[in-house]
Structure 1
Amino acid sequence: MAKTLKEYPITTASARSKLEPGEYARRLDADAAIWYRRGKRGGVWFARWRNHYDGAAYKQAPVGPANDINDKPTDGLLTYLQAEALARQIVNKARAEAKSAADGPTLTVRLAVDAYIATRDAREIRRAGRTVRSDAARRLSRHVLSSPLADVKLHAMKESDLTGWRAALPDALKATAVQRTINDLKAALNACYDANRAKLDPSLRDIIKHGLKAESVDDDAGVQIARSNQILTDAQVGVIIAAARAVDEDVYRLVVVLAATGARFSQVMRMTVADVQRDKGRLMIPSSRKGKGKSGSVPVPVGKDVLDALLPATTGRSNDEPLLMRERYERVPGKIEWRPAGRVPWWTASELTGPSGAWKDIKVKASMPTVIPYALRHSSIVRGIRANLPIRLVAALHDTSVQMIERHYGRWIADGLENLAAAAVVTLIPADESNVVELGRR
């Protein structure tokens, strides 16, 4: 086309009116052009191109009827500029389709999500030492793979595909659950792009970034924004611990660690026997998996009462064994009956808070029908703030950021600073001015 195509003046209605019936072209690139076909009753636009990737014969597609009256946008009729823009879209889309097909199976959101789920499940299986399904698998299967977005081709994906999917998420879904699902989808799409950069347009990265841009929702690993009724007094924490002990010894030890450290469940469940350092009066809490490049543990001082409560979980056990265990039950074949099936580590928070979890019994025994497990973390953070610990230290002990502490617990920080300021107040005005003694003058 580059050597033989003859171009004609078709960019204005006036120029087109002077042409005889026939076909006339203007080049879009070396192997693509927009064509104008003039007939007795008006003109039409169409695109003709050849793919760069397969070298096959030229292809052709209609663009739309031409506006041969003037060069102003009109409903149903296309000016040259409008037709040129649409022709470029048609050509680019067709070439992307051809390139994707030439490079192998067409990549879709479904394939990207399936690969990501397989990776996450494999990681969780390695950590657990048994067959488990990751939380990401449940979220993505429910909210992505069952949606129209799953069949969108990555090379043709637009921001509107992602924003439309986001807007269609159930209203009943909590803001934190929405953000986790978005984060999982973003990770799946970025991983697929990284593995297939040669066959995907670089603009896909920006489409993913802006289409799934985080809204102003704070999600400290699922943290519910701290409310007053979630900040417990030391006495209320004690009631919860006592209720947990009345329910089950394994649950009791779990709740003790959550209350004493303010750690997340996902951290506590990874503790080993070696993380109880009785001689140093502390627990070593594994760092959270939030963010990149994090490893190691956070030392958290605890009292002798906490160490004594954990003594049965450490006595006679190897240092590398999981610290917190629970009894697992299995159904007796052919009966509506359950029997013990050995002890296993705690794995997911739902084992505590789910329909069959012990937290519902704890709430009943503690007479706290609305209390949530995360209240123990909230209360631990506020306890440190009220003790006038530096905010940076409170953040470090709870494996989070100063910014998160300031955003979520600003009210209690302000109270603590007010108390400090009040302690610095001194009496300046004498009680009885008649007792004022004039100082000698020099």
Structure 2
Amino acid sequence: MAKTLKEAPITTASARSKLSTGEYARRLDADAAIWYRRGKRGGVWFARWRNHGAGANYLQAPVGPANDVNDKPADGLLTFTQAETQARQIIATARQEAKAAAAGPVLTIRLAVETYVAERDARDTRRKGRTVRSDAGQRLRRYVLGQDKRGKQEAVPAAPLASIGLHELKESDLLTWRKGLPEELKSSTEQRLINDLKAALNGAYAAHRERLDPTLPAIIKHGLKAEKVDSDDAAPLARDNQILSAAQVGIILAAARQIDTEGNWDGDLFRFVVVLAATGARFSQIARMKVGDVQRGQGRLMVPSSRKGRGGKIASTPHPVGNDVLDALLPATTGRGNDENLLERWRSKQVAGSIGWERAGRGSWQFASELQRPWQEIRKQAKMPAVIPYSLRHSSIVRGIRANLPIRLVAALHDTSVPMIERHYGRWIADGLEDMAAAAVVPLLPQEGSNIVQMHRGAE
């Protein structure tokens, strides 16, 4: 086309009026052109471009009827400028589709998400030592991929987004999907879902960027960016009733010991709650602690780093604790190897042919839900119906802030970031700094009847 195409004056209505019946072209690039076909009753626009795949040498597609009256926009009629813009879009889309198809099966949102889910399921299976389905996989199946009926759960159809190819993905596609999410979905769950989808799409682009448009990361970024929340309506992460005093933490621990004894936990439940309170760490971190992480000589516990983020973290964080905590952990460390799991619990199985259960060995804690039932009993015993396990983490962070520890140190001890601490615990930071600021206040105004003599000012 670059060597043989003969261009014609078709850019204005006046120029086109002088043409006879036939087809006339205007080059768009070396392999594409916009064409004008003049007929007895008017003209039409169409695009034609070289086909680099198998089949015909050229492909073409209609653009629309031409405005041969003037060069102003009109309903249903296209000026040369309008037709050129649409033709370029048609050709660009066709080329993207051809490029995607030529490199193998078309990469769809479904394929990207399924690959990501498989990776997450495999990772969680390795970590837990048994076949499991990841939380990310469950969310994405329910709200993107769709899922069949399972037990009491109804079948869920796939989202329209799943069938869209990555090469044709638009920001509006992602925004439409977000608007279609259930209104009753918790904001935290929705954000995790969005983060999972973003990771899946970015992972697909990283693996196949030679097949995809370079603008795809920007489309993903803006289509799935976190929504701004009105600060007046934002709910704080740590509410007042979840910040416990040292005395209240003591009541929780006493209740945990009582429930442990009554439920024949053999100290397993009590020790887990003790470490939760002493470190403010997350369930998943504590569940991975080893016997060697109890360093009695240094008066500290080594808490494994969380698996949140992209890596680059230190393996564990030292957290100073008192002798009372170390004494409570003695039964879990005495006579055991450093590489064994620190905190374990009894596992039970149903006795064959009966409704009874019997102990079937010990194993590590696996899911935060394992605390749900005993925690109900703990807070009932403590007469704190609103307290949740995460209260112990909130309280540990606020304790550090009130002790005027550097915010960076508080963040490091709790495996989080300074911006996260400032965003969610800003009120307690301000309260702690107020006492320090008050100590720096000095009298500024002179007292009446004092011997203060005003100094003469020099010549101005």
- The normalised TM-score by structure 1 is 0.89
State which of 389, 396, 400 in structure 2 corresponds to 1:384: 400
Match status 1:408 vs 2:427: no
AA of the residue aligned to 1:261: T
Q: Distance in 1 between matches of 2:167 and 2:446?
A: 80
Asked whether the equivalents of residues 351 and 357 of structure 2 are also in contact (C-alpha less than 8 Å), the reply is yes
* Match in the other structure for 1:303: 322
Q: Distance in 2 between matches of 1:15 and 1:197?
A: 44
Give the SS at the match of 1:279: coil
Q: Distance in 1 between matches of 2:211 and 2:353?
A: 54
Q: Distance in 1 between matches of 2:356 and 2:347?
A: 14
CA drift at 1:35: 1.3
Kindly provide the CA deviation profile for residues 247-301 of structure 1, in whole angstroms up to 9, marking residues without a partner as x. 3332222211111111122221211111111121111011122333113211111
Q: Distance in 2 between matches of 1:429 and 1:94?
A: 78
Match status 1:344 vs 2:363: yes
Asked whether the equivalents of residues 43 and 68 of structure 1 are also in contact (C-alpha less than 8 Å), the reply is yes
CA drift at 1:333: 6.2
Asked whether the equivalents of residues 244 and 392 of structure 2 are also in contact (C-alpha less than 8 Å), the reply is yes
CA drift at 1:246: 2.9
Question: Aligned runs of 1:16-415 on 2, under 5 Å?
Answer: 16-54=16-54, 56-146=56-146, 147-216=159-228, 225-248=237-260, 249-291=267-309, 292-331=311-350, 338-353=357-372, 357-415=373-431
Question: For residues 307 and 328 of structure 1, do their structure 2 counterparts lie closer, same or farther at Cα, with a shift above 3 Å needed?
Answer: same
AA of the residue aligned to 1:125: T
Q: Distance in 2 between matches of 1:91 and 1:14?
A: 27
Give the SS at the match of 1:358: helix
Q: Distance in 2 between matches of 1:80 and 1:338?
A: 81
Give the SS at the match of 1:254: helix
Moved more, 94-103 or 397-406: 397-406
Give the SS at the match of 1:290: coil
Q: Distance in 1 between matches of 2:184 and 2:199?
A: 24
Asked whether the equivalents of residues 23 and 35 of structure 1 are also in contact (C-alpha less than 8 Å), the reply is yes
Kindly provide the CA deviation profile for residues 405-431 of structure 1, in whole angstroms up to 9, marking residues without a partner as x. 222112111211222334456789999
Moved more, 240-249 or 369-378: 240-249
Structure 2 gap ranges (5+): 147-158, 261-266, 453-460
Q: Distance in 2 between matches of 1:395 and 1:209?
A: 27
Question: For residues 428 and 47 of structure 1, do their structure 2 counterparts lie closer, same or farther at Cα, with a shift above 3 Å needed?
Answer: closer
Question: For residues 295 and 7 of structure 1, do their structure 2 counterparts lie closer, same or farther at Cα, with a shift above 3 Å needed?
Answer: same
Question: For residues 335 and 92 of structure 1, do their structure 2 counterparts lie closer, same or farther at Cα, with a shift above 3 Å needed?
Answer: farther
Kindly provide the CA deviation profile for residues 341-387 of structure 1, in whole angstroms up to 9, marking residues without a partner as x. 4322222323323xxx4322223222222222211111101111112
CA drift at 1:233: 1.2
Asked whether the equivalents of residues 304 and 316 of structure 2 are also in contact (C-alpha less than 8 Å), the reply is yes
Q: Distance in 2 between matches of 1:430 and 1:193?
A: 70
Q: Distance in 2 between matches of 1:224 and 1:335?
A: 49
Asked whether the equivalents of residues 8 and 26 of structure 1 are also in contact (C-alpha less than 8 Å), the reply is yes
Question: For residues 56 and 369 of structure 1, do their structure 2 counterparts lie closer, same or farther at Cα, with a shift above 3 Å needed?
Answer: farther
CA drift at 1:241: 2.0
AA of the residue aligned to 1:314: T
AA of the residue aligned to 2:187: A
Give the SS at the match of 2:340: coil
Kindly provide the CA deviation profile for residues 116-159 of structure 1, in whole angstroms up to 9, marking residues without a partner as x. 11111211121111112222111211222132111110011111
Q: Distance in 2 between matches of 1:428 and 1:156?
A: 68
AA of the residue aligned to 2:204: C
AA of the residue aligned to 1:17: S
AA of the residue aligned to 2:371: L
Q: Distance in 1 between matches of 2:352 and 2:215?
A: 56
Structure 1 gap ranges (5+): none
* Percent identical residues: 71
Q: Distance in 1 between matches of 2:335 and 2:135?
A: 34
AA of the residue aligned to 2:140: L
Give the SS at the match of 2:281: coil
Give the SS at the match of 2:297: helix
Kindly provide the CA deviation profile for residues 216-253 of structure 1, in whole angstroms up to 9, marking residues without a partner as x. 479xxxx9711111111112212222222333332222
Moved more, 235-244 or 179-188: 235-244
Question: For residues 379 and 16 of structure 1, do their structure 2 counterparts lie closer, same or farther at Cα, with a shift above 3 Å needed?
Answer: same
* Match in the other structure for 2:150: none
AA of the residue aligned to 1:190: N
- The normalised TM-score by structure 2 is 0.86
Moved more, 368-377 or 255-264: 368-377
Q: Distance in 1 between matches of 2:353 and 2:179?
A: 46
Give the SS at the match of 2:238: coil
Question: For residues 52 and 247 of structure 1, do their structure 2 counterparts lie closer, same or farther at Cα, with a shift above 3 Å needed?
Answer: farther
Question: For residues 193 and 437 of structure 1, do their structure 2 counterparts lie closer, same or farther at Cα, with a shift above 3 Å needed?
Answer: closer
Kindly provide the CA deviation profile for residues 21-64 of structure 1, in whole angstroms up to 9, marking residues without a partner as x. 22211112222211112222222111111233557421121111
